[in-house]
């Protein structure tokens, strides 16, 4: 009896100390390297590059250009993004290749004479695009860290664009979703419809003009995009269709190296993206706040756990709206926002039993300074060099404009600016002065390519699409591993929730939350909204027990991870 009692006590202790996941879902694994992306063709090409002796940056370049062909809703050369690179010497670099507002852009460019927002002007058509950064970004990453020749890395994408690839059911759906918009622009209609009809699974999607553009980039590097024929074609089409991007805008574009945003979470080093992304800052605010309690002990996705998360998110997104923008233009109080003291103050402002109303939660720093469909891939190679890359056209298929003669699908990233103070963008985010439109400025982003270290060794690579929900998705995947002991597959697949201050409700994944958890949250005063899916994570995690990399791609959007 006594022994039995002791035994039970030990079991209870073990269960509460090491949270046990219900199912042991296995990720892919391998001791050499791994690639996780949203598309099986791109993942295979990335892995091939690693096997041929390319490093993680080489693989990232090949994956980036391939996704521009095979995953056109977000993979791109007409958009922009962010990349975190880790070298084999454990040095971290953050590359900003975010789009910029064209020189002719101005604060009220999306407002009519009564200062009302002109519907869809920042999301559809030529005026919606910022100056693309992807080609400059991938080129710069390769210039600094690449090993294999540039032209070799573009070749697979060129061949797929030229010869076509087979559309699967997932791609049929995503093309179908934007079909009506494609018909508005002749060059888009020519590429993404079959003579005006919808594409179906089994059809071949061939992109001859895009292949020619990629060849110019292969042969001339950034000059193949930012000057010469490609730049002329972009500027000409823009001028004819009331767009703003000129040849000078393209010639002026530069990718920039930034100081990575670094902080610690429960002894793990977190390395993420600084402004012009809000990703690293909001991630730090949320995790720093949660660090004030033992989240693991609350039980994964219990109502008590979700409540604390949501209250931390509420504050962080209020700060995002007030303080965050392109730090080349406005002063962002980075050190204050990521300080542990500020997080502690925010933690103690949370009532453990009742939801606050967002209208009563304001940007919280005491001293306000004076002025103040995306896709991710994670790659690691044999020498521990790693890439965490998120890039985007913003909305699915961006502005829906293909520039005639180039096959380039353009972004609608201008919508990420605060086009009018307090006006919600396509992700329901509002903003203020810090993120107002200015010529040459980069629009605030939520993209959060992130890496995690433990004892100075690479531990995890993670990122996701999802607009404003990117940051909370990345935060939950990190916490699922660190606080709840999940493997990477379990962490990626676990149901997600999201709160962003305004609108004032929790979004939660339809199939993941028991009704009693939802009822508890309602009783605490939270508003809830069901959604199909949050995020689409592609991540790599070091398995220290087996001394190998494990990887997983969220199956939601047909992603695929491979390791060897
Ligand atoms: O930079 C940003 O925050 C947005 N342009 C990201 C867009 C996005 O994630 C859309 N995909 N689901």
| Residue pLDDT, tens place only, 268-314 | 999 999 999 999 999 999 999 999 999 999 999 999 999 999 999 99
Q: Quickly state the pLDDT bin for 557 (edges 50, 70, 90).
A: confident
Closest C-alpha among 297, 386, 304 to residue 57: 386
- Domain membership of residue 409 (yes or no) is yes
User: What is the reported pLDDT for 282?
Assistant: 98
Sign of CA dihedral 544, 546, 549, 550: negative
Q: What pLDDT shows up at residue 17?
A: 39
Question: Residue 9 above 60 pLDDT?
Answer: no
Expressed as residue numbers, the domain containing 41 is 31-164+206-564
Which residue carries 């706040």 as its tokens? 289
Burial of 204 (0-12, 13-18, 19+ CB in 10 A): exposed
Using the structure block, give the residue that is written with the tokens 């002025």: 371
Pocket test residue of 129, 137, 415, 447 for ligand 1, highest count of atoms within 8 A of CB: 447
Closest to 464 (Cα-Cα) out of 530, 388, 393, 399: 388
Stretch among 90-94, 108-112, 356-360, 459-463 having the lowest mean pLDDT? 356-360
Whether 7 maps to a domain, the answer reads no
Q: Which of 70-84, 137-151, 421-435 has the lowest mean pLDDT?
A: 421-435
- Kindly list the distances between the CA atom of residue 543 and the CA atoms of 71, 204, 486, 530, in Å, as whole numbers in the listed order: 30, 39, 11, 34
76, 375 Cβ separation under 8 angstroms: no
pLDDT band at 259 (very low <50, low <70, confident <90, very high): very high
Residue whose Cα lies nearest atom 2 of ligand 1: it is 445
Closest by Cα among 397, 402, 376 to 387 = 376
Question: Which residue's CA lies nearest to atom 10 of ligand 1?
Answer: 373
Nearest of 380, 367, 358, 337 to residue 488 by alpha carbon: 380
Mean pLDDT of all residues belonging to the chain: 94
Largest CA distance in the chain: 86
pLDDT greater than 70 at residue 13: no
Contacting residues for 298 by C-beta, under 8 A, at least 6 apart:
304, 305, 308
For residue 522, how many other CB atoms are within 10 A of its CB? 14
- Please give all residues whose beta carbon lies within 6 A of any atom in ligand 1, as ranges: 373-374, 392, 394, 413, 416, 445-447, 465-467, 470
Residue nearest to atom 1 of ligand 1 (CA): 445
| CA 303 to each of CA 278, 285, 299, 320, 353: distance values in angstroms, whole numbers, following the listed order | 27, 21, 9, 25, 10
pLDDT digits (tens, 9 = 90+) for 27-57: 999 999 999 999 999 999 999 999 999 999 9
Q: In Å, what is the CA distance from 65 to each residue of 255, 266, 280, 357?
A: 17, 37, 25, 44
- The answer to whether 61 and 75 have CB atoms below 8 angstroms apart is no
φ and ψ of 284, to 5 deg: -65, -45
Would you state the pLDDT for residue 220? 98
Task: Yes or no: say if 467 and 426 are a contact pair by the CB < 8 Å rule.
Answer: yes
Least confident of 21-35, 211-225, 369-383, 483-497: 369-383
The answer to whether residue 273 is domain-embedded is: yes
Whether residue 15 lies inside any domain: the answer is: no
Rounded CA-CA distance 391/377 in Å is 9
Domain of 59: which CATH number?
Answer: 3.60.20.40
Beta bridge partners of 214: none
The residues annotated with a catalytic role in the active site are 374
Question: Which of 392, 411, 472 most suits a substitution to test ligand 1, by most atoms within 8 Å of the C-beta?
Answer: 392
Instruction: Count structural domains, the chain.
Output: 1
Distance 373 CA to ligand 1 centre (A): 6
Whether the bond between 312 and the residue before it is cis, its omega within 30 degrees of 0, is: no
Each residue's pLDDT tens digit, 226-249: 999 999 999 999 999 999 999 999
Instruction: Let me know if residue 59 belongs to a domain.
Output: yes
Q: CA-CA distances (angstroms) from residue 123 to 233, 419, 440? A: 21, 11, 19
- Overall residue count recorded for the chain in this entry: 564
Secondary structure of 81-130 in HEC code, one letter for each residue: EEEEEECCCCCEEEEEECCECCCCCCCCCCECCCCCECCCCCCCCHHHCC
* C-alpha atoms less than 13 angstroms from C-alpha of 498 in its C-beta half-sphere: 29
Q: Has residue 26 been placed in a domain?
A: no
* pTM, 2 dp: 0.93
280 in a structural domain:
yes
The reply to whether 16 falls in a domain is: no
């Amino acid at each position: 009896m006594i022994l039995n009692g002791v035994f039970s006590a030990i079991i209870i202790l073990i269960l509460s100390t090491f949270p046990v996941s219900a199912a042991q879902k296995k990720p892919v694994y391998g001791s050499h390297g791994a690639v996780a992306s949203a598309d099986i063709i791109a993942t295979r090409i990335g892995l091939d590059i690693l096997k041929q002796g390319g490093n993680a940056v080489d693989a990232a370049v090949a994956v980036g250009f391939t996704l521009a062909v095979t995953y056109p809703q977000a993979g791109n050369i007409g958009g922009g993004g962010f990349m975190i690179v880790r070298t084999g010497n454990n040095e971290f670099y953050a590359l900003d290749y975010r789009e910029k507002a064209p020189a002719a852009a101005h604060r009220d460019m999306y407002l009519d004479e009564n200062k009302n927002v002109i519907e869809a002007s920042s999301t559809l058509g030529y005026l919606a695009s910022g100056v693309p950064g992807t080609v400059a970004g991938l080129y710069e990453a390769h210039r600094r860290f690449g090993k294999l020749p540039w032209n070799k890395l573009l070749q697979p994408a060129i061949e797929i664009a030229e010869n076509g690839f087979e559309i699967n059911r997932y791609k049929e759906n995503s093309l179908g979703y934007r079909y009506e918009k494609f018909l508005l622009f002749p060059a888009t209609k020519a590429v993404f419809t079959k003579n005006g009809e919808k594409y179906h699974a089994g059809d071949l999607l061939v992109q001859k003009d895009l292949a020619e553009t990629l060849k110019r980039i292969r042969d001339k590097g950034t000059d193949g995009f930012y000057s010469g024929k490609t730049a002329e074609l972009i500027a000409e089409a823009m001028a004819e269709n009331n767009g703003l991007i000129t040849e000078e805008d393209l010639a002026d574009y530069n990718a920039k190296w930034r100081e990575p945003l670094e902080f610690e979470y429960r002894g793990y080093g977190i390395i993420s993206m600084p402004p012009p992304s809000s990703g690293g800052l909001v991630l730090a605010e949320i995790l720093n706040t949660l660090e004030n309690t033992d989240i693991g002990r609350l039980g994964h996705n219990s109502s008590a756990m979700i409540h604390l998360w949501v209250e931390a998110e509420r504050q962080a997104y209020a700060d995002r709206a007030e303080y965050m923008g392109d730090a080349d233009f406005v002063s962002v109080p980075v050190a204050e926002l990521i300080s542990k003291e500020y997080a502690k103050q925010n933690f103690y402002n949370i009532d453990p039993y009742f939801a606050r109303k967002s209208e009563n939660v304001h940007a919280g720093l005491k001293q306000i300074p004076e002025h103040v469909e995306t896709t991710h891939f994670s790659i690691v190679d044999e020498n521990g060099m790693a890439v965490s890359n998120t890039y985007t056209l913003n909305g699915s298929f961006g502005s829906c404009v293909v520039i005639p003669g180039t096959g380039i699908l353009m972004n609608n990233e201008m919508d990420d600016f605060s086009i009018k103070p307090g006006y919600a963008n396509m992700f329901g985010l509002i903003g203020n002065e810090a993120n107002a439109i200015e010529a040459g400025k980069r629009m605030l982003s939520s993209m959060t390519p992130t890496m995690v270290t433990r004892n100075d060794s690479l531990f995890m690579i993670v990122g996701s699409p999802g607009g404003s929900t990117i940051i909370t998705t990345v935060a939950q995947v990190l916490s699922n591993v660190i606080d709840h002991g999940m493997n990477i597959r379990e962490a990626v697949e676990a149901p997600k929730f999201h709160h962003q201050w305004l609108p004032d409700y929790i979004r939660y994944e339809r199939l993941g939350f028991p009704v009693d958890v939802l009822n508890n949250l309602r009783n605490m005063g939270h508003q809830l909204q069901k959604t199909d899916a949050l995020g689409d994570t592609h991540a790599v995690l070091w398995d220290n027990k087996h001394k190998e990399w494990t990887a997983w791609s969220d199956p939601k959007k047909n992603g695929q991870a491979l390791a060897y």
